[in-house]
């Protein structure tokens, strides 16, 4: 893709039909025909802009224009959303790859104004002041995230195995007969589920792990009536 001439309209980057066609590896007439067939789906000001009359003359006078556009009475300028609509109409690998490149390397590039050294220092100081102002808010958000991690994270696979081993060890301390252990396993797991309000040992919260292990170590099976 050749280096695109940057065109700014209404404070956003746009592309001519010719630029769009070249980027997508197609012809301008195909772009135009696709637009004509689906015109009702496009919205002026959202997907495209139309330049004509004096506005078009002013546009032509401020930049280098292709020969085939010098005498055109109307010029379409396509926004990022308009480019997406055309990529969807073409639906080729080349068009989608080009669209992604246009988004990353053209449409969403911020145009940086030329600043004097004093202006650059002033902007840097302003940005630093804004960052310092936002620090308490950021710290509060980090604390909130830490709190959520602490209160919502469940056991990982290693911790789950550790809990299972603790259950197995405790049950075996009360019953040597393998066939007789099953009801004890069920009883201990159900006691854990009821006490910590979880449907499975996998849903035990990490923050409760040590309490659960202590509970298992002190657990005594209920005697059958």
pLDDT for 36-57, tens place per residue? 999 999 999 999 999 998 888 8
Token reading at 42: 């496009």
Residue 2 lies in a domain: no
Categorize the per-residue pLDDT at 224 as very low, low, confident or very high, splitting at 50, 70 and 90.
low
Same domain, 11 and 100: yes
Query: Which of 66-70, 93-97, 119-123 is the most confident on average?
Result: 93-97
| Burial status of residue 125 (CB atoms within 10 A of its CB: 0-12, 13-18, 19 or more) | exposed
Residue 1 lies inside a defined structural domain of this protein: no
Q: Could you give the strand order of the β-sheet that contains 48-52, starting from the edge strand earlier in sequence?
A: 7-9, 12-16, 74-78, 48-52
Spatial separation of the C-alpha atoms in residues 30 and 28, rounded to whole Å: 5
CA angle 161, 218, 180 (to 5 degrees): 70
- Whole-model pTM: value is 0.48
Query: Domain span at residue 74?
Result: 7-107
Domain presence at residue 19: yes
Residue 114 in any domain: the answer is no
Q: Which residue, of 107, 142, 177, is where some domain finishes?
A: 107
Residue 146 placed within a domain: no
Q: CA gyration radius for the chain?
A: 33
Considering the domain boundaries, does residue 124 fall inside one?
Answer: no
The reply to whether 101 and 19 lie within a common domain is yes
Chain-centre distance for alpha carbon 2: 29
> 149 exposed, middle or buried (CB, 10 Å; 0-12, 13-18, 19+)?
exposed
- Mean of the per-residue pLDDT values of the chain: 86
Domain count, the chain: 2
Query: How confident is the model over 66-84, as pLDDT tens digits?
Result: 666 677 889 999 999 999 9
101 located within any domain: yes
């Amino acid at each position: 893709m050749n280096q695109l001439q940057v065109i700014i309209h209404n404070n956003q980057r746009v592309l001519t039909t010719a630029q769009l066609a070249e980027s997508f590896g197609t012809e301008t007439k195909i772009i135009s025909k696709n637009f004509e067939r689906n015109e009702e789906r496009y919205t002026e000001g959202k997907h495209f802009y139309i330049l004509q009359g004096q506005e078009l003359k002013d546009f032509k006078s401020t930049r280098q224009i292709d020969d085939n556009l010098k005498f055109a009475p109307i010029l379409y300028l396509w926004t990022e959303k308009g480019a997406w609509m055309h990529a969807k109409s073409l639906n080729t690998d080349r068009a989608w790859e080009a669209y992604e490149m246009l988004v990353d390397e053209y449409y969403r590039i911020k145009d940086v104004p030329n600043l004097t050294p004093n202006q650059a220092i002033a902007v840097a100081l302003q940005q630093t002041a804004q960052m310092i102002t936002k620090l308490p808010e950021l710290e509060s958000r980090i604390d909130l995230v830490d709190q959520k991690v602490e209160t919502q994270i469940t056991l990982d696979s290693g911790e789950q195995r550790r809990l299972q081993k603790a259950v197995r060890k405790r049950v075996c301390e009360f019953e040597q007969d393998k066939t007789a252990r099953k009801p004890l396993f069920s009883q201990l797991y159900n006691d854990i589920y009821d006490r910590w309000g979880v449907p499975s040992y996998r849903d035990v919260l990490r923050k409760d792990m040590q309490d659960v292990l202590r509970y298992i170590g002190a657990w005594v099976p209920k005697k059958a009536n």
